[in-house]
Structure 1
Amino acid sequence: MSSHSVHIEEAVRPEEDSEHADLTERTPLLNDLRSHESEHAHLTVAVIKTEMKALITLGWPVSLGYVVSMSILLAQIFTVGHLGTRELSSIALTGMFCNVSGYSIGIGMASALDTLCSQSHTGSKDPHALGKHLQRGIVVMFFLCFPIGILWWFAEEFLLLMGQQEEIAAMSGRFAKVALIGLFPYLINECLKRYLQAQGIMKAGMVVVSFAAVLNIFLQWLLVWSPLSLGVIGAPIATTIVNCTLPLLTAVYIKYVAGGSCWGGWDWKEALDMRQIWGFLKLGVPCVAMTCSEWWAFEVVALAAGWLGEAELAAQTIALTTCSLAYVIPLGLSIAASTRIGNALGAYATQTARAAALASVLVAACLAVVNCSLLLIVRNRWGWLWTADPAVVKLVAAILPFAALFQLSDAVGAAAAGILRGCGRPDLGAYINLGGYYVIGLPLGLTTAFKFGMGLTGLWLGLTVGLISVSTITLVIIWNMSWGKEAERARDRIAHERAMFEDETDRLQSSPTGPPPSYE
């Protein structure tokens, strides 16, 4: 992707080779990452094809896992929706509130592990570096849950301040308090997933969420529809129980299937190392800004759609859900790109990182064309799958062409965001998202929707223009990246932890009692 030449003698450093001379479980990965470094400096079609295959192999289990995870939310909506309109409105409002004030922040913060773990897995001498990053991630999530918990505990009061109806606000408040129980376990699982993904273990999340989805269906029936029913409150209780089981299932996978070798046991000194936690936060806060700026923009549009009328809100819900379904495949590619590029930069395989970046954009472009074409083909019939209201169906048909155009940039933008995370540059993504959505997209959408009377079409026009701006600027930045400099950034990022590991190893070796027993 870079416009700068990458010379092979610069890309493969002798000291890096000697550093990994001993055979370890990472040796096959390192050999794979460096397989392109002996090629000519200009990327070949064969190299790009190899990276495209690698990304697809890494990405498809993640995408399928996200599809299955969406079924957990849909099962809750389906269950509550058959109890009544007020109940459905309450659960939808709770979902929006919890997403904006909690899940988006936690998921964004956990994304720091996409950089830290993927680069450390190939660049650190410490075999347990990933486990230490995971521990610090869990500590950060624990303290992050306190401010989020306060917001969720007083959700009813916040929703009343936002002008929501008293009965709906009261019911949503009860739902949020139940959801609070599962918040910390859910965020722990987000950290565990990234710990595994950095090692290239992508199927774990798919396997775990598949078990959880089956459990969720059973619990939704048991707590809402069976003779033991708890009523409407049973639906969020079922989802909370599932969220609490997710980290337990993932931990079992790590212990008995794959991924356990990078875990060295819990170490309070490492987990509470403020210098390392500060480094985590320096990546995590921009990741939060990058994730939330996009997530919140869609919530603003949903709120604005509600001001237009019930039909517009229904059509917006259908269109947004459709785009969310279409996004899960590019999302898997995004995570695969961050893992592959992070691993490559950690191993100082600059040629592979550049090839993976280009390959991820090409695969995303192909996915975008497919998604766009499908939405254009079904635009006149799609609404009937969701509603019997002709007015809503007509609105859906009117905005799906914009949603189709949106897909072209959404898929490419997802790949670009994965590239930035792999490089450890979420700060760039945060600035670009804030400018694209809040300086261009939302002002344009709100102006065309309300001032020029374009309604819901105007809102989607603004979103589409904003995302096109975001993806275009991001691609220009990535195209001009110097991958050698990005590898040096990765090298500097893990240099401190490597030095600490070497010092500790020397101290233990010189100790009269010798080194401690192996963790194996």
Structure 2
Amino acid sequence: MSLINSGGTDTSNTHEHDEHEHAPDLTERTPLLNDLRAHEAEHQFLTVPVVRAESKALIGLAWPVSLGYIINMCLNLAQIFSVGHIGTTELAASALASMLCNVTGYSVGMGMASALDTLCSQSHTGSKDPHALGKHMQRGIVIMGVFSIPIATLWLFAGELLLLLGQHEDIAKLSGQFARYAIIGLFPYLVNECMKRFLQAQGIMKAGMVVSFIAALINIFLQWLLVWSPIAIGVIGAPIATAITFWTLPIFTWMYIKFVAGGSCWGGWEWREALDMQQIWEFVKLGFPCVLMTCSEWWAFEVIALAAGWLGDKELAAQTIALTTCSLAYVVPLGLSIAASTRIGNSLGANAVRTARAAALAGVILAACIAVISCSTLFAVRNQWGWLWSADPEVVRLVASILPLAAMFQLSDAVGAVAGGVLRGCGRPDFGAYINLVGYYVIGLPLGFMAAFKFGMDLAGLWVGLTVGLISCSAVTIFVIYRMDWAAEAERARVRIAKEHAQFADLPGSLEPTDQLEAESEV
């Protein structure tokens, strides 16, 4: 596959790939390669038109992802809404089980699947094997199956674990039941994460949005059928409905791949490569830092939630409102983060160094704009926002007191999210993992606990710690990106792809990791 240096095509070519026929010497990736290489003839310094073009490309990639995550949040909200109208104990058990499953299962699996953000996006433009993405996805599915075993075992004894952690017996017992039924949907949920990244690497972002919308409608019906209808089975029907819905996710995603877009990168199941231990180990080596990068932030918020509970019920309610608000605000930069990861990975795979730099800069600028909007909005509604969630004046007062801190938190949260996407696109999640671990667990949490419990700042003190920790993470990550050698990162991507081809030398058109790679990287 040649990298054509002609003028760029419309950036919409990177969003949804059509299955049109091309001339024999072209491939369906040619429009994308033209687009990525369009800026390479420019002079060394990035120009405003180049950054503007990359900004438009990122926005086009990001909005379906953000909307898809908003719809996906409705899956959990439907279960909470369904259970919450039964009783307080049931609601508490559902929330506790959800927290346990997120911390011990979904966050770990999603972090490991994030290795595909690097592998698939770079291979899509850099590999001569048209089915390289499908092989990466196969290895991801195998790894998700292995990871599901210890996670499911832990969930099987979730009730006993929660009792050991001091939870009330009735709540712990019901939470354990919720977690056991959640096992049914664990593996298909993680498989769908791999399939989504397989499509996103090709620039096919709308699939997740469409599938999540269909699944959300199915979940609403199942929640009614199993919890509230004349044939309902009671409160336990809620996690069963969610688990069944999770099984529909990979089914509908597969249908999208087969009948809509993305199927050309799937060459069928190949056990030899899917179970190749060397390639699986390479996947895990890249995925483990992604797990630390994802989970370190996720777990820090759960620790803060537990600490808020020690302060009192009203503080916990205010913390829940503030955290849910920040989670909603995070959806937009999260979509932009995935868009940046895809765009930069594609660029490095195509050796389009200047495009990768421009995409990173455009992503950070867009994130800063989003951050300012989120910060201003939260600060403006701080005194009224709590009334949407609670009728307790004290809870509303507490929410109003910490929303300015949550608003400041947004300034670095959005930038940090996109910066993390840049690192994943480059295949450098290890940098993000180290930065997050230090920022949250060396700076943020200790500072927050000291401010809250030693200096009497209570809930505001916990948020001071979180904010300082995240600002530290974002600042260091931006500095790392600023100092990044993009030509070297493109070379790393090419060598990674070449090593994979060298192992399977019988593949037609396989690459060889020769010294020519080093010579080309200097051009």
TM bucket, shorter chain: over 0.9
The 5-angstrom pairing of residues 125-204 of structure 1 reads 125-204=128-207
- Residues 95, 351 of structure 1: CA spacing in aligned structure 2 closer, same or farther, 3 A cutoff? same
Q: Does 1:72 align with 2:92?
A: no
| 2:455 corresponds to 1:452 | yes
The answer to whether residue 469 in structure 2 is matched with residue 466 in structure 1 is yes
Offset at residue 228 of structure 1 (A): 1.1
For 1:312-327, what aligned pairs fall within 5 Å after superposition?
Answer: 312-327=315-330
CA shift for structure 1 position 17: 5.5
Paired residue for 2:285, among 282, 285, 292?
282
Letter of the 1:282 counterpart = K
User: Does the 8 A contact of 2:4 with 2:34 survive in 1?
Assistant: no
> 1:416 and 1:153, CA in 2 relative to 1: closer, same or farther beyond 3 A?
same
C-alpha contact 2:129 2:507 (8 A) present in aligned 1: no
Q: Within 5 A, what are the aligned runs for 1:347-366? A: 347-366=350-369
Question: Displacement, 1:490?
Answer: 0.5
Distance 2:373 2:218 in 1: 33
Q: Secondary structure at the match of 2:502?
A: helix
The match for 1:375 among 366, 374, 378 is 378
Q: Does 1:400 align with 2:396?
A: no
Does the 8 Å contact 2:199/2:262 carry over to 1? yes
TM-score (norm 1): 0.93
Gaps of 5+ in 1: 1-13, 508-520
Q: 1:260 aligns with which of 258, 263, 283?
A: 263
Q: Which deviates more from structure 2 when the two are superposed, residues 131-140 or residues 72-81?
A: 72-81
Shift of residue 506, structure 1, vs aligned partner = 7.5
Q: Take 2:356 and 2:167, find their aligned partners in 1: how far apart are those partners?
A: 49
Residue 10 of structure 2 corresponds to: none
Q: Please, which of 435, 440, 458 is the counterpart of residue 438 of structure 2? A: 435
Question: What amino acid sits opposite 1:250 in the alignment?
Answer: T
> Would the alpha carbon gap of residues 506 and 375 (structure 1) be closer, same or farther in structure 2, given more than 3 Å must change?
closer
1:220 corresponds to? 223
**Closer/same/farther in 2, CA of residues 274 and 21 from structure 1, 3 Å limit:** farther
Asked whether 1:55 is paired with 2:77, we answer: no
Pairing 1:503-514 to 2, within 5 Å after superposition: 503-505=506-508
Task: Say what the alpha-carbon RMSD is for the aligned residues.
Answer: 1.4
Which residue type is aligned with residue 86 of structure 2? L
Instruction: Identify which of structures 1 and 2 has the higher relative contact order when contacts are C-alpha pairs closer than 8 Å and 6+ apart.
Output: 1
Deviation at 1:499?
Answer: 2.7
- Tell whether the 8 Å contact from 2:382 to 2:399 is kept in structure 1 after alignment: yes
Distance 1:346 1:402 in 2: 40
Which position in structure 2 is the counterpart of 1:117?
120
Query: Partner of 1:496 in structure 2?
Result: 499
Could you say which residue in structure 2 is the equivalent of 1:294? 297
Deviation per residue, 1:142-180 (Å, 9 max, x gap): 000111011100001110110001110100000001000
Shift of 1:504: 3.0
User: How far apart, CA to CA, are the structure 2 residues paired with 1:15 and 1:265?
Assistant: 25
Task: Find the residue that maps to 2:268 and give its secondary structure.
Answer: coil
Between the aligned partners of 2:177 and 2:459, the Cα distance in structure 1 is: 32
Q: Distance in 2 between matches of 1:89 and 1:499?
A: 54
- Higher mean alpha-carbon deviation, 495-504 vs 420-429, is at 495-504
Do the aligned residues in 2 keep the contact of 1:198 with 1:339 (CA within 8 Å)? yes
> Residue 342 and residue 387 in structure 1: after superposition, are their counterparts in 2 closer, same or farther (change >3 A)?
same
Once the two structures are superposed, what CA deviation does each residue of 1:76-121 show, in whole Å capped at 9, x if it has no partner?
Answer: 1111111111000000000110011000000000000000000000
In structure 1, distance between residues paired with 2:371 and 2:335: 13
Q: Deviations over 1:219-246 (max 9, x none)?
A: 1111111111111101111111111110
- Whether contact under 8 Å (1:100, 1:292) holds in the other structure is yes
Q: Equivalent residue for 1:476?
A: 479
Matching residue's letter, 2:383: N
Name the residue aligned to 1:511.
none
Matched residue SS, 1:415: helix
Contact 1:126 1:501 in 2 (8 A): no
* Structure 1: distance between partners of 2:218 and 2:322: 29
Secondary structure class of the residue paired with 2:292: helix
- Aligned residue for 2:105? 102
Contact 1:333 1:415 in 2 (8 A): yes
Partner of 2:339: 336
1:498, distance to aligned residue in structure 2 (A): 2.6
**Aligned partner letter, 1:480:** R
CA drift of 1:500 comes to 4.1
What amino acid is aligned across from residue 120 of structure 1 in structure 2? Answer: S
1:492 CA displacement: 1.1
Measured after TM superposition, the shift of residue 428 of structure 1 is 0.3
Tell me: CA distance 1:104–1:506, structure 2 relative to 1, closer, same or farther (3 Å): closer
What amino acid is the match of 2:387?
W
Which among 400, 414, 418 is matched to residue 415 of structure 1? 418
Q: Given that residues 501 and 507 in structure 2 are in contact (C-alpha distance below 8 angstroms), is that contact kept between their aligned partners in structure 1?
A: no
**Amino acid paired to 1:112:** A
Give distance in 2, aligned partners of 1:504 and 1:354: 32
Shift of 1:496: 1.4
Identical-pair percentage: 72
Deviations 1:35-61 (A, max 9, x none): 000011100000000000000000000
Supply the distance in 1 between the matched residues of 2:183 and 2:285 (Cα, whole angstroms): 26
Q: Aligned-pair distance for 1:71?
A: 1.0
Equivalent-residue separation in structure 2 for 1:123 and 1:246 (angstroms): 29
Equivalent-residue separation in structure 2 for 1:330 and 1:434 (angstroms): 21
1:297 partner amino acid = A
Q: Distance in 1 between matches of 2:334 and 2:249?
A: 20
How far the C-alpha of 1:15 sits from its partner, in A, is: 8.0
8 A contact 1:293–1:437 mirrored in 2:
yes
Cα displacement (A) at 1:139: 0.3
